[in-house]
Structure 1
Amino acid sequence: MKKYFVIISTILSCLFLFFIEQNIGASYIVKTITKIILFTLVPYIYFRFYKKQSIKKALNLSGTTKKHFSLGMIFGVLAFVIVLLAYFILRSYIDIAAISYEMQTKSKITPANFILVGAYITFGNSFLEEFFFRGYVFLNLYEMGYPKIAYIFSALAFALYHLAIFRTWFDLPVMILALFGLISVGIVFNWLDTKSKNFINSWILHILADSAIILIGMKMFEII
């Protein structure tokens, strides 16, 4: 029952966020608030009524050591470099002007507020995604004794969740490559979190990867 609750609630949450992103033209603030509610309420219901534990205890947030911190930093720096290299290699296939236009008209993200939005994405949104996809989905399924399902399902959910964001940004080949990259990254995130039994490792990696993306965004908006 616990396994099915985690899987079904994750699928429904991602589908609802896809609908919000692609069909109602909501602003970035509305989408962010919706995501915060879903990605905190669903795990709270699970931990409170199914696991009957506090979120802090269930997620083992005190389990990170200096060794694990270093591991997250090493992979994070590597991810930072890979993201920037991928951008410079593939930039001729990416319609930067179209992405900028969509972000400003659809999500109301402009050069004036991009720094604030970028700070939230780097630290707040990355924490929220790691809390949900790794702390709630992966580690729960993994500790239930379903390691293969945990790895595959959480990585796929993480990748498809991002599809709602960049579905209209790239041509099909680049989009497939991006999805493959996200699935691979999700598996690495999962593996890192098995070392500390919490999601802090992957959060550190996520922060550094997002930092590279924000740098690209700043260049796109001609901030740098």
Structure 2
Amino acid sequence: MKHVLLFLGPTIMIFLGLQVMSSVPVTFLLFYGWLFVVPLLDMIVLKRNTWRDTFRQMGLGINRPNMYHGILTGLLFFLTMVLAGYFFHSFLFDKDDLQKLLVQWNFSGNLVVWLILVLLVINPFLEEIYWRGYLFKKLERKLTKRTMILLTSLFYSLYHFLSIIPLFSWPYNFAMILPVFLAGMIWGYMRDRSKSLMGSIVSHILADSGIMSVYLLFLK
């Protein structure tokens, strides 16, 4: 039951913030609060690990080949999203509906710059630390590596449905979850192969930069 809650907790936070409260700032507080507090309580407070041991167990160490892979995959994600946005944004999005939805979610005005910074700086670190750092460590003796990568990728993709479905036009909104799942699988594989999370974080930062570039270039 505890593991089910760990898998579903981030999705519940997104649901409460977006679907119930219709606020991106509130969603960020709930979602990133969960991603930060749960590993902190478990590994530092309950297990009484040192910060150094916690960072090591979650893979927060530099591995040069892993960093190269992170940069290469991240650049590929970035270019793919910008090119897709350039050629297909009129099919993927209804710009007027999207703008209305973002205003409804409080993703507007002076808050936008700060929310974008959160997505570019905080989001990649906390998502990777939670899914492919903390949960990998939590599950490593309970599941095979393939099952662990698959499950973390599935549940990582799950809460993206809650934001992707309203943002994209039908039927592309359902199709857009596939790249999220594939990215999770790639980042999980990188983490497993290298025992380092840093390449996945770099790749994730570049991927999120691609998403924000599409928004700023073609949708704002």
**Do they fold alike, i.e. is TM over 0.5?**
yes
| 1:129-140 superposed matches below 5 A | 129-140=127-138
Structure 1 partner of 2:2: 5
Q: 1:5 to 1:186 in 2, by over 3 A?
A: same
Unaligned ranges ≥5, structure 1: none
TM-score by length of 1: 0.85
Q: What letter corresponds to residue 149 of structure 1 in structure 2? A: T
CA contact (8 A) 2:86 2:218 kept: no
TM-score by length of 2: 0.86
1:31 aligned counterpart, secondary structure: helix
| 1:110-189 superposed matches below 5 A | 110=108, 112-142=110-140, 144-189=142-187
Q: What letter corresponds to residue 118 of structure 2 in structure 1? A: Y
Q: 1:124 to 1:139 in 2, by over 3 A?
A: same
1:213 and 2:211 are equivalent in the alignment? yes
* CA apart distance, 1:48: 3.9
* CA apart distance, 1:110: 2.0
Residue among 32, 35, 39 paired with 1:39: 35
* Distance across 1 between alignment mates of 2:83 and 2:130: 28
Count, aligned residues: 217
Q: Which runs of 4+ in 1 moved over 6 A?
A: none
CA contact (8 A) 1:158 1:183 kept: yes
Q: What letter corresponds to residue 121 of structure 1 in structure 2? A: L
CA contact (8 A) 1:44 1:55 kept: no
Q: What letter corresponds to residue 42 of structure 1 in structure 2? A: V
Q: 1:18 to 1:54 in 2, by over 3 A?
A: farther
* Distance across 2 between alignment mates of 1:62 and 1:199: 6
Q: 1:147 to 1:55 in 2, by over 3 A?
A: farther
The CA RMSD measured in Å over matched residues stands at 2.3
